[in-house]
Structure 1
Amino acid sequence: MSSEDDVRLHLGDHLTREVGLSVNVEVQAIPNSTGRWKISTTCEASPFVINAKDAIPGCQFILPLSRFLGFNVIRELQCKNRKLSELVSDKLLLEFLIDANKPGFKVLAEDLRKHKMLLATNGDISIEHKQSVSTKKAQSAICRIINESIANNFSSFTTGRLTSEEFMRIVKDKDFQTLKSSNLVAIQITEDRKSSVTPANEISVSGLIKHVDNFKSKLEQIQKLSEKESREEREVRSCTVPNVHNYQLKVLELTGLFDRIRRKFPSVSITPDYSLHQVNIQCAASVAHAVQQQITDLLPSIEESRVSKNCSQSFASVFVSEQTQAALNAELHKRGISAAWLVNNLVLSVYSESRSVSEAALSVVESIVVEFEKNLDEKESKVIDSADWNKQLEELCDQFKPLECQVCESGIRFIGLAYNRKNILQKLSSFLEENVLLAHTFSGCKYKIQYLYKFKIAELREIEKQLGVTIAVSADGNALELKGPKNTMALCKTHLERLNNDVCSREHLISGSIKIRYINSNYHFLDQIGKKTSCVIVPDADNSGYLKLPVKKKTASKILTLHSCPLSPGKQCDVLRGDVAELCCDGIVIGTNEKLQHLSKLGAHVLQKAGDKVGKECERIMKDEQELFAWDAVRTTGGELSCSHIIHAVLPSAKSHHYQDGDLVKCFTTALMRL
């Protein structure tokens, strides 16, 4: 048995039992709707179809398709009032009809009154005058009056399932809100709050036909609009905001203004295009204009945030470099400042989200890019004009990029990054010290100067080589003339002072005999002695019988040292420190030769302690004009007397080879060489 036959059989049996007549029932399946049928039957059986749901297996509900009432009623009308709720199956419409405050009650009551019927506020229908209604014709008339009144004046409509967007548009619509707050219709809203994936939002409206039709029309408009927007949302549109300056793009990007728009329109893609000076937008067509307008509205506020300062061409060149931009961005990020800038016609302009932020950003710029000067004197200014400086400047500009240099009236001005300033000034100072040449005269004791230039020439040349200076003796021979870089001049003087301090500042005179006068007249001899002894020996200008000998300090200091004179085995002649201090004097401790006559008190004291044999032996050696070399010993019958340092001290004998023969002059030479 088909589904249609099954419905027809059960419904027909039910109506036959209810109406008491054989009822013809037709059942027709509704196209494209599984499990739904259109039911047609006789007029008198129509009211009972609605209550036949339980008679049909598996039936969930039965709704009237075209009529609300049948055209025939059962005999109960003859004995009691009929309730409107028994005749109207639509509960929302029933609510509209029995509510005395709504126009439905008044319209239906007026139609019933025309036919001698009364409608109570509880929904009861009564006949105004006693009349027989036992005939089917009278009964049908009552049903017909009610049915025609409802069909001609009222209507009901249910939207079916709405999407969340459609539902919210209807609920929030002003016309709908007005309709809902009025008494013109009865509205039932069913909102599904459990599922956002498969919404089941429905709105039912019952009321006067024109108001229900207005609601239908509004719903159709909203649904069309929703469908259009849905299509537009699925359709991605590309558009631009043109003529946006790069600094404006940077402000929009850095300050998070683009992010605000993205949060407001989640599906929007916004990309700044610095090459074309525009903002590229990809979004749904429905929001494209709104996004464009949002960006356009932000541009005036960016212009209002502008702060500016005049700058030089050099400042501008340094500012726009990659190194400056990197340092500036790092510092701004560190301080939490977002800003952009523009250099145009030597005017630096800073932009941000507000003027106060732009002012803070400008102060950061001024702390990153700085101008600083180095004052120069006349000699330093001449060096700055040289090719060496041009080479040095190239190295500075390459090492401390970005860097601009200008020669000004007071010296030289630099424009660069603040953290490079100290190193740049240090490099400049080093260059000036190395290239500015200074002249200096090193003077003092003229004999010391002569000593240095005659016997320390190797040391002087080494100083010249190490320090890059030149050292020359003055025309009068009494000073050294120095010339070299500023940074090495002080060190050069220190080296010379060290050498000079190694020369004894005391002059010693050897005087008093024909032999000395003979030596004075032999300049070649004096020169040879000086070279061999590293001493400066000069004739005394006032008295040709004297020699002046500036001697080494370490040699002169031995005057105050204890020395002993070895004699025969087991015997020793001691010269104590006290003896030396008391008797200290120039002298050659050799003997008492009449021609020489240069025996000092110290020498005499030593000979007195040593005995006559030592003195006689010395006399014999000098008389025979035998040679006495350095470190040789004077042989005596009582032992040995060393000739080392015989001018100023008596030392222990040296262990060396013995040489004999020679003349008195060489003996004297040897004495001088042991200073």
Structure 2
Amino acid sequence: MLKHPCQPCKMMRFPTQFKILCIPAALEKFYRGYPGLKVSVDKERRTAKVSAPEDKMKKAFSDVLAFAMSLRETKMSLTPGLQKMFEREDTKEWIQETVISEHGLVCHWEVSEKQIIISGQSSDLVRIQEMFKEAFKEKTIKSEKEEACTLKSPAWRSFLEQLEDSDSPPQPVLLPDGDSVIIVDTPSNISNTELKLKKFLKENKQQGKTLEINPNKVKLLKEFCDHDLKELGKKAKDVGVNISFSKNGLQAHGPKDCLPSIVGEVREMVGRIKEDKMTFKKPGMSRYLKGGKGQDFLTQTGSVTKCYITTGGGGDGTSQSGDRVLAKAQLSPTLDLQIIQGDITQCAVDAIVNAANGRLQHDGGVAAAIVKAGGRCIQEESDELVAERGELNDGEVMVTGAGTLPCSHVIHAVGSTWSGGTKD
């Protein structure tokens, strides 16, 4: 209802008319043409009151009424990407300043589900709608399989934050859609945004990493740590990392910035698994434990105590690993010393000692045999430690995991190297 002191008149057709009448620019020409004119809008009652000098009242009221009666609305369908763009505050400010006001137009617009509702003068609506359509371009970039996982990673969130730090609004919208990314940006900037996106995807392709684990520890993880593995799997999936276990360890594939933390958690989980051994010297025990009843007993015991029990060697003249014992001595009631002839990579002990060089490059002799049997992860972990702490001096040691070796750790001890002459 647009009210005149003597001439009330019903004329509102759309609720958005009230919103347009509240826009200062909408009535600016009337204020200039009619000094002293005042239009007060009551949104709750949907009425507008016109006040003006008496000699101008009739004409002013008629012009404002004609303007209000000329207001119409139209709707424009939006894709998900465009809807997200038009909902942003920086977009609303940019549209008002560069698309609407710059061309001397007045309109009100709001976004609803999958569409934008534009209100303005009927003579301007077609032009305004075309401006809205031309304000932004949309493009879909298909990512490769190795790149798609990156769209869930912290690196992706950091990339979006960097784009939002740009000083020139509006900021582009990048919307992941399965294996694709939808870009919405201004026509002048969309090519630049596309180049940045493709560069990011190329630099952050999915990578793979293998963590070799003692088969017995893998069996224990699967049998008794199922809940922890499921939680880790969910966490890995949230950042785009896929993990799977084989009998010899972990295979992980995902964004390079996420892989180290996930693999590190598995390595920490494996590190909490302790191994111990028990030697039975009574005749027949080794044969019994390896038999059907003995195996059933070990399985039941392991189920109750939540541990994985396996049998090794044993008996006169052999070590736990089945190697030949050359000499032995009892140092205390609980401590035995044995000199064993056999393969060090097959010893089921807490730790084996590797004669290493200061660079921890295990490319020859016993060191190479240990890496060959236990897996490249021993060399990789050694490289990481040297990169972090520097090369070792004579007499210093470094401890790594044992990969698929039956032991728990490898102690890399650096000794002096004799190069001929009379000095050590």
TM over 0.5: no
Greater length-normalized contact order (CA 8 Å, ≥ 6 residues apart): 2
TM-score by length of 2: 0.43
With the length of structure 1 as denominator, give the TM-score of the two structures: 0.29
Greater helix share, 1 or 2? Answer: 1
